Amino acid sequence: MSTAMHHFSSNQFAWKGNKGTAEMSELLGPGVYAPIGRFSITSARTGKTRFYELDSSAPGYEDGWDGEYKVYTDNLFDGTRIVILND
């Protein structure tokens, strides 16, 4: 497992309210798969950076979301969630 921190821009995600969604290949490149445990997202609009980690309280966490995706939180309790789809 890679211990490197991944850094993304908010414009790499499709946003619907406080939920950002992206496919793994769009974030890391075609054919590249790397387990992502923690990462940061810098807002293209404000320049502010938030840090995210796996959301162990999200429904499906115990089952690994059936390998289809993972859900992340910034733990700021504002409802922001990131979903990364395994494509």
The answer to whether residue 39 sits within a structural domain is yes
pLDDT tens string 43-62: 999 999 999 999 988 888 87
pLDDT at 3 over 70: no
Residue 78 clears pLDDT 50, i.e. is over it:
yes
pLDDT exceeds cutoff 60 at 2: no
Instruction: Decide if 66 is inside a domain.
Output: yes
How many domains does the chain divide into? 1
In this prediction the pTM is: 0.87
Instruction: For residue 1, tell me if it sits in a domain.
Output: no
Query: pLDDT class for 10, splitting at 50, 70, 90?
Result: very high
pLDDT score at 79: 84
Structural domain boundaries, residue 17: 6-85
- Backbone dihedral region of 81: left (phi > 0), alpha (psi from -120 to 50 degrees) or beta? beta
